[in-house]
Amino acid sequence: MNPKPGTSDLPKEVSLTIPILENMEVAATQTAEAVAQFMEFDREQIDELKHALIEACINAFEHSKSGDSKVYIRFVMNPEDLVVVIQDFGQGFDPGEVPRPDLSAKVSGTDGYKRGWGLMLIEGLMDSVEIQSGEAGTQITMTKRRNKGGAQ
């Protein structure tokens, strides 16, 4: 019989390391799906988690310039929420310097750069997001709470 959330024998954490290679974010979403299903998250919560995780992985893939070319992901299962930590040991960035994307400017062509949505989407799809970044790398900690109206 599988242990369930809230029981003493609940496995608390799942760790995953993915190489920085094209489409490896999909491997991370498959683990996220399994963990979130185990925690009995509903379909919408699982999909939101997966899409936020894709964006966090892509950010690391494209911007970290990590020397070890890896992204480290931890899924921490708590009774009330799932915390996902995405870490790289790359060059880091200043979140305060990331411009807020303006869709009007992008659609009109005023802004020729159509990208830059990752952080906005992560924040919009998760319940809370913390970013710590510096010369040693970047750690994004994002949390999805259990849907109180859903299965517990």
| CA nearest to 115, candidates 105, 104, 101 | 101
Residues 143, 84: Cα–Cα separation, whole Å: 6
Q: Does 101 bind another protein (CB under 8 A)?
A: yes
SS3 50: helix
Q: Does 98 bind another protein (CB under 8 A)?
A: no
Q: Does 21 bind another protein (CB under 8 A)?
A: no
Which residue in 5, 10, 14, 51 binds another protein (CB under 8 A)? 51
Classify residue 118 as exposed, middle or buried by CB count within 10 Å of its CB (0-12, 13-18, 19+): buried
What is the smallest separation between the CB atom of 2 and another protein, expressed in angstroms?
26
Q: Which is nearer to another protein, 39 or 53 (CB)?
A: 53
Residues 23, 5: Cα–Cα separation, whole Å: 31
- Interface positions with another protein (CB under 8 A): 23, 25-26, 29, 44, 47-48, 50-51, 54-55, 58, 101, 103-104, 106-109, 114-115, 117-118, 120-121, 124-125
